[in-house]
Amino acid sequence: MQGQFGFRAAPAEVLPMHLYRARNPRQSPLWQCAHRHFAEFVETYPHDYQPRLGPLRPVIPQVVHKFLDCGNLDRGFVRVRCDHCRHEYLLAFSCKSRWFCPTCHQKNVQTTAAFLVARVFAPVPHRHYVLALPKMLRPYFQRHRSLLKCLCALAYQSLTEYLRAAVSPSLPSGERDGVRGRLDSFHPAVILTLHTFGEYLDFHPHLHALVADGLFTRDGTFHPLPELPLKPLEELFRAHILKFLVDLKLLPPERVQVLLSWKHSGFNVHSGDPVPPEHQAELEKLAQYILRNPFSVAKMTLESPTDTIIYRSKLNPKINRNFEVFTPTDFLAAITQHIPDKGAQMVRYYGWYSNKMRGQRHRAQNGGAASPPLRPPGTPPPPAKLPSKKWRDLILQVWHTDPLICPKCRQQMRVIAVIDQRVVIEKILRHLGQWNGTPPLAPARAPPDANAGPWTREPCDDVDPMPDYENVLTD
């Protein structure tokens, strides 16, 4: 099936099954760059990067240190054993870092996209919108990151006003009387994701939204909308953003006049073709696209002996090439600026898809009974336990490989223990000859290991599944 942007939806037939192979994150060029140069990056940050990027946020070293321990057996693992032939392997814990660790974030992309398709999206057409800011306004959001959540709210406000303005002409003539007085009873259904990254990792805040192609009323009636021009949405978005920055006294009114005097103000809005509800594979691809990681390891090349990073992407018409060259610390500065602050919500559910309205519908469907809490308030989190079935299902979905099929005899394996005590971890790994002692974060750079072999990208595909818009949405 040909998708709206040229990609093809995943085929329905069963893909060939492969044997599971534990990954080795230390062979990744991203891990090697961070391991060798992050301490230097932190040391030089005040002089080299703080004037441009602002103070080093505490979340950056926290996330990078977690990433460096991702897949490290020294930090704990589960034991997986085959009862038939007694073969056993160790599965290291992951860091679970989102918006930085490519593997862990991609797992979250897969689970969230599947959740949206199965549990959130209504069986109606959806459309993909992109809303972008002019380059002149981006530094305000870079230096005041707390404003990014307001950017999401302003985008939703613009979309709501834009869609509601079109609902009256789309209704049958008998239903139009009084509709303008009750427009607030028409609710858009929006999943909105904030991206702070451009094609070559510059700070480029823009918003992706998957929006039902119409409006809902409280009784669940869906009112589809006709094809709409985008210019009114662009003007609404521009007006809300400029007023917001002027009211905060961040943007002088004279700069607003300069911006508005340009032929192209730099505000851009794009929308794709509507995706019919029966095209769920295409809708899931769209969801994966708007949830993707800020950067792709597949685009990285680590050049010896200087550890220069060549980052390849699509052709940039401004510089007439399809790559950018970074020093190791410049590359770390570029990618870490996109790590969200702790607690920041990069994905937001609005309108008919908001947690509040979904909860109200759930209670109505279940006789007023609320969903039970995941954990009673005040109780501590449960102790470490065996991985859930979701862990295996996710590997099957993403890698088309079963981690519980024995590579020796092809029989079923099972998880027998979670090992998270330091003494036990060291004892087992020393017995197996795999104890590394958890090296320091940034030792002196050793010569390349001649026996390491070429790095093989992990099977969890972090390549962008769809084309980027950043080359188009520029001022």
Cβ-count burial 155-183 (b if 16+ within 10 Å, e if not): bbebbbbbbbebbeebeeeeeeeeeeeee
Query: One-letter amino acid identity for 58?
Result: P
| Distance (Å, whole) CA 23 – CA 390 | 19
Cβ-count burial 427-451 (b if 16+ within 10 Å, e if not): ebbeeeeeeeeeeebbeeeeeeeee
User: Is the pLDDT score of 139 beyond 80?
Assistant: yes
What is the pLDDT, as a whole number, of residue 362?
A: 84
User: Is the pLDDT score of 171 beyond 70?
Assistant: no
Which residue reads 């610390």 in tokens? 329
Which residue reads 């920041």 in tokens? 344
Q: Give the helix ranges, DSSP H, for 355-420.
A: 355-365, 389-399
| Distance (Å, whole) CA 436 – CA 77 | 14
- Mean pLDDT rounded to a whole number for the chain: 82
By mean pLDDT, which of 10-14, 87-91, 256-260, 286-290 is the weakest?
Answer: 10-14
Q: For strand 321-326 and strand 308-316, is the pairing parallel, antiparallel, or unpaired? A: antiparallel
The model's pTM is: 0.81
What is the pLDDT, as a whole number, of residue 388?
A: 57
Residue 471 makes CB contacts below 8 A (sequence gap 6+) with: 199, 314, 315, 316, 317
The mean pLDDT value for 435-440 works out to 64
Give the residue with greater pLDDT, 204 vs 438: 204
Q: How confident is the model at residue 278 (pLDDT cuts 50, 70, 90)?
A: very high
The mean pLDDT value for 112-125 works out to 94
Burial class, 421, CB count within 10 angstroms (exposed 0-12 / middle 13-18 / buried 19+): exposed
**pLDDT tens string 297-332:** 999 999 989 999 999 988 877 778 889 999 999 999
Give the residue with greater pLDDT, 328 vs 3: 328
Which residue reads 């700070």 in tokens? 203
**pLDDT tens string 193-203:** 999 999 999 99
| Distance (Å, whole) CA 92 – CA 429 | 12
User: Is the pLDDT score of 177 beyond 60?
Assistant: no
| Distance (Å, whole) CA 64 – CA 61 | 5
Residue 434 makes CB contacts below 8 A (sequence gap 6+) with: 73, 90
Q: How confident is the model at residue 102 (pLDDT cuts 50, 70, 90)?
A: very high
Collapsing DSSP states into helix, strand and coil, what is residue 275?
Answer: strand
Closest CA to 284 of 91, 3, 25: 3
**CA angle, 344 as apex, 338 and 346 as ends, to 5°?**
65
Q: For strand 126-132 and strand 203-212, is the pairing parallel, antiparallel, or unpaired? A: antiparallel
**Structure-token pair, residue 203:** 């700070």
Q: For strand 413-419 and strand 77-82, is the pairing parallel, antiparallel, or unpaired? A: antiparallel
**pLDDT tens string 374-425:** 445 555 554 444 555 567 777 777 667 788 889 899 999 998 889 888 899 9
Residue 318 makes CB contacts below 8 A (sequence gap 6+) with: 474
Q: Specify whether the CB–CB gap between 275 and 125 falls below 8 A.
A: yes
Cis status, amide bond into 305, omega within 30 of 0: yes
| Distance (Å, whole) CA 202 – CA 189 | 30
